[in-house]
Amino acid sequence: MPRALIYAANWKMNHGPREAREFARRFLEFTAPLAGRELWFFPPAVTISALVEAFRGRPDITVGAQNVHWESKGAFTGELSLPLAKEVGARIALVGHSERRHLFGETAEQAARKVAAALAAGVVPLLCVGETLADREAGRTEDTVRRQLEPVAAVVQPTDRPRLLIAYEPVWAIGTGRNATPADAAEVHRFIREWLGGRGWRDRTRVLYGGSVNAGNALALLAEREIDGVLVGGASLTPDGWAEIVGLGG
């Protein structure tokens, strides 16, 4: 059986509903479902419902939220609760993306609360972890990733462990034109699984790689058996470009 791969598109603050519907129309012309391949989209919150509707009939495509709050309701201006995200069709959620951590001050403990809330709500969380350039040059990659994982591992129940996915995204390789080599990325993926395994996680956790992924390097990254997919930002913003990437690998 071929290895299942996930191709996740993080649109960040791009593509409103109108643009998303046109993107979907063209993307569906370029692609067809492939066995062992899942396509995930994380559009802006205002676009979730439009994209869910546009991709209806494609079971290989799942749409989710870029960020969620751990509370189900309340006085949290500008936040998106999991019940609201689910109501418009989100089935997955990014948690702890490097931009949330470094631009908006999200802590590892807050990310853990979001993971726990997502699992309780029946939403699959994709937890992002990764180190800065200073961490990497100081040899603190594993320590940094461990500190980001520890609060999450403490709150995830054994029955929920198979539903948590992780994306390793070295901060120094996002939007900089730099990239970890496939071997470098695979080494950190292996560390993540071994660390979790040492805490009783028996199932093989799926770990994606995110960090300046594009059509030129995606195939080499996906050739590494430790890498279960890619989380892609800028290279996912055009339908033809994203279709080219999702046709790679496996």
Single-letter amino acid code for the residue at 151 = P
> Choosing from 106, 131, 169, 224, which is the catalytic residue?
169
* Cβ atoms within 10 Å of 225's Cβ, excluding its own: 10
Question: Helical H runs in 68-181?
Answer: 82-87, 98-104, 108-121, 133-137, 141-155
- Indicate the burial class of 232 (C-beta count within 10 angstroms; 0-12, 13-18, 19 or more): buried
Q: How far apart, in Å, are the Cα atoms of 161 and each of 65, 83, 196?
A: 20, 21, 10
Burial code (b: 16+ CB inside 10 Å, e: under 16) for 109-132 equals ebbbbbbbbbbebebbbbbbbbbb
Cβ(207)–Cβ(189) below 8 Å: yes
> Choosing from 38, 97, 99, 224, which is the catalytic residue?
97
The rounded distance, in Å, linking the Cα atoms of 129 and 135 is 13
- Does 169 qualify as catalytic in the annotation? yes
- Does 53 qualify as catalytic in the annotation? no
Task: List, by residue number, the catalytic residues.
Answer: 97, 169
